[in-house]
Structure 1
């Protein structure tokens, strides 16, 4: 269609339903804008260069305004008439964009703005090293499949059932969709490509002995991983939600942690009633001067290095145990709350799962849905966890006491009294 383009008209153009459509400008011959089904808008000028039809990309709207697009189109048309455009094309070969060139642009201009797990997408795309030097428009479906298979082989199963490779496929699909919207490529080589590995839902929970080991492992850490690990288990919240916790999100007087929508996976504000044990831990944490982060070593960002932390915990949880992850602590907390007779919908509300959230209009006015019930459930779990930790200390003390009798001279009378006191507690 041909129309007199205006900024108001451009802003009102709706995403395409199916195939992209074009709107041509009445004022500048050949100038038109393409609208994709994702709503992306790209300027082009269609003309003939030495008798050959050409479609020359100008840029994206609104970065390139209507006024700028008209001026640029007119300059190109003028240069074609004077032969300057052809001369420049001969003198300088257009830079060919590779996947390696595109990844940083995709992360900065799309992923960081649109996805919460942009770091995960960036990590998986950076792993696809064999594709980085290939032209973005020359990568074929078979190239992506081979690279994903290599990732599966390199990463190994490691209890993950190949889910990382599936995340990699999802990331490169998003990247190509963005490239099409930006006019960088015309087609995606991964359209309709199914995941190479069928994902199996995890059902791993830590046993009581593993929970005791995890707790001891945290105590061996000191600030800040000790408190972080304990709060992770006590609250049942997601790893990054606790790791990036702010003092401004906490109300220690009321005993709550309020996670705003931009900090939760399902983009829903979540109020976590904190059990007494969690509040005691938080009150013991020193504050970093001038920083809002609860767990930080620099004051400018939250803690990281979770992989190294987990490896240290493996020594306590059990190297021979079935593979576990930090996310399994959520399932462990949920399972134990169920054992303590907490109702399923309350457990879902504690975990901030969509099925446990009051939806619709009610959600707008009821930010504290099931607040009292959630507090009771988390306190029950915290009390059970405390008893479990004390039981672990008693067992350890019992072993020491037995060793004391086997080797009477190995411990002083005072030390023996300490061990005996633990058993009597």
Structure 2
């Protein structure tokens, strides 16, 4: 990063987190201070000596204060111009960083700390193979555009469904903003670059036949994916919120699942009432000794492998693999609750939507005020699921809701 250096600013620079960083002086080109993990600060001058880029160590701060560092840097620049500079005190310029070098640093030092979906960010950046060998500072706008167009072809983002490609652009923008802050690059080639594809909101939800097929496919799985899939449908919560569910978040006597803010996508704490069917399923789940995870195969981490689970469901029950996703199960619950006459603001509360009919300060209070209404809505939905999965599909929704 480049700043107008002052003694106050130099004193306030924090120790590096991970790799050391540099702050460049706006007043004297080439002068910069490098900050290490221990908090040590060393003055350097980046310039050219004999036509080659070099980094010259000047001294340490605060032994060498800002005023003296600038004066010494100016003297060195003068000696270089006169051809009398002694090159034995010159350090070679470090190797140029490539895009591929920077991605792991960005993920470790920024994304993992600041982004809940950092794995998704990492995945899309690693897919951009065409940029990995290029110097991070030499990448142009056209290079990024061509790589995003290749992603469109590779992952099938066509027909206006550009979610993954647009997430890739967002990831690159964040990466370059971080690189500027760290002094790795001076400018971002993607500032103002608009998404290549306009995203279209999905409206896919499972039909009654597909709900029955989904339920049957889950039953064929056994623990942990059987109960995971069933609870995903019955609770209408997000995939990772259910997959990473802890026993400590559950109160089976009161029939609630309490998700803290750090466990939800929108960082809003959420209480999920559990229907009678959901409680029966939870009480049937074996507990992994010494683990708090409800769904785990190791005891140390929650389940994963959702893509393979979906493939098995597609093969077993014949669901259209190109047409449905796990998030559509959540939309299925919401859509059916609306058909079953649940009020829109109660559905919003069940889904824990931060923006919707109820928001702001009112939403904080309504998170608790609508607990009974949410419980009733999920019980109506649960009874309907039981009806269509255990009885002929000709049964009416009114019968299921009774």
Q: Per the shorter chain, which TM-score range?
A: 0.7 to 0.9
Query: Helix, strand or coil: the match of 2:154?
Result: helix
Residue in 2 aligned with 1:167? Answer: 167
Q: Deviations over 1:44-103 (max 9, x none)?
A: 766877699x99799xxxxxx9759969x96995995895666544xx452110011100
Query: Helix, strand or coil: the match of 1:271?
Result: strand
Residue in 1 aligned with 2:400? Answer: none
Give the direction of change, closer, same or farther, for the CA distance of 1:47–1:131 in structure 2 (3 Å limit).
closer
Residue in 2 aligned with 1:146? Answer: 146
Contact 2:275 2:382 in 1 (8 A): yes
Residue in 1 aligned with 2:399? Answer: none
- Are 2:16 and 1:5 aligned? no
Residue in 1 aligned with 2:20? Answer: none
Q: Deviations over 1:241-263 (max 9, x none)?
A: 00011111111111111111111
Contact 1:31 1:70 in 2 (8 A): no
Residue in 2 aligned with 1:198? Answer: 198
Residue in 2 aligned with 1:312? Answer: 312
Contact 2:43 2:69 in 1 (8 A): no
Is 325-334 or 77-86 further displaced after alignment? 77-86
Counterpart CA distance in 2 for 1:196 and 1:374 is: 40
Q: How many positions carry a matched residue from both structures?
A: 366
Residue in 1 aligned with 2:132? Answer: 132
Query: Helix, strand or coil: the match of 1:327?
Result: helix
Residue in 1 aligned with 2:107? Answer: 107
Give the direction of change, closer, same or farther, for the CA distance of 1:158–1:305 in structure 2 (3 Å limit).
farther
Residue in 2 aligned with 1:209? Answer: 209
Give the direction of change, closer, same or farther, for the CA distance of 1:76–1:331 in structure 2 (3 Å limit).
farther
Contact 1:357 1:369 in 2 (8 A): no
Counterpart CA distance in 1 for 2:195 and 2:153 is: 15
Q: Deviations over 1:210-262 (max 9, x none)?
A: 00000000000000000000000000000000001111111111111111111
Give the direction of change, closer, same or farther, for the CA distance of 1:50–1:306 in structure 2 (3 Å limit).
closer
Residue in 2 aligned with 1:177? Answer: 177
Contact 1:260 1:269 in 2 (8 A): yes
1:315 CA drift (Å)? 2.7
Query: Helix, strand or coil: the match of 2:302?
Result: coil
Counterpart CA distance in 1 for 2:5 and 2:89 is: 31
Counterpart CA distance in 2 for 1:140 and 1:179 is: 15
1:22 CA drift (Å)? 6.6
Counterpart CA distance in 1 for 2:115 and 2:185 is: 22
Counterpart CA distance in 2 for 1:161 and 1:190 is: 21
Q: Deviations over 1:359-390 (max 9, x none)?
A: 55555566524100000000000000000101
Unaligned 5+ residue runs, structure 2? 15-22, 35-40, 396-402
Counterpart CA distance in 2 for 1:43 and 1:200 is: 51
Query: Helix, strand or coil: the match of 2:8?
Result: coil
Give the direction of change, closer, same or farther, for the CA distance of 1:304–1:322 in structure 2 (3 Å limit).
closer
Contact 1:358 1:369 in 2 (8 A): no
Counterpart CA distance in 2 for 1:285 and 1:301 is: 17
1:391 CA drift (Å)? 1.9
Counterpart CA distance in 2 for 1:271 and 1:322 is: 33
Contact 1:275 1:378 in 2 (8 A): yes
CA RMSD of aligned residues (A): 3.8
Counterpart CA distance in 1 for 2:64 and 2:279 is: 59
**Structural mapping, 1:244-393, within 5 Å:** 244-320=244-320, 323-356=323-356, 359-361=359-361, 367-391=367-391
Counterpart CA distance in 1 for 2:231 and 2:54 is: 58
Give the direction of change, closer, same or farther, for the CA distance of 1:2–1:297 in structure 2 (3 Å limit).
closer
1:355 CA drift (Å)? 2.9
Say which one has the larger Rg: 1
Counterpart CA distance in 2 for 1:227 and 1:68 is: 64
Counterpart CA distance in 1 for 2:129 and 2:63 is: 37
Contact 1:32 1:45 in 2 (8 A): yes
Counterpart CA distance in 2 for 1:348 and 1:9 is: 45
Counterpart CA distance in 2 for 1:308 and 1:76 is: 64
Q: TM-score, normalised by structure 1?
A: 0.76
1:4 CA drift (Å)? 3.7
Counterpart CA distance in 1 for 2:259 and 2:343 is: 23
Counterpart CA distance in 1 for 2:346 and 2:115 is: 28
Q: TM-score, normalised by structure 2?
A: 0.80
Give the direction of change, closer, same or farther, for the CA distance of 1:171–1:322 in structure 2 (3 Å limit).
closer
Query: Helix, strand or coil: the match of 2:368?
Result: coil
Q: Deviations over 1:147-203 (max 9, x none)?
A: 111111111148881311111111011000100111100011111111111110000
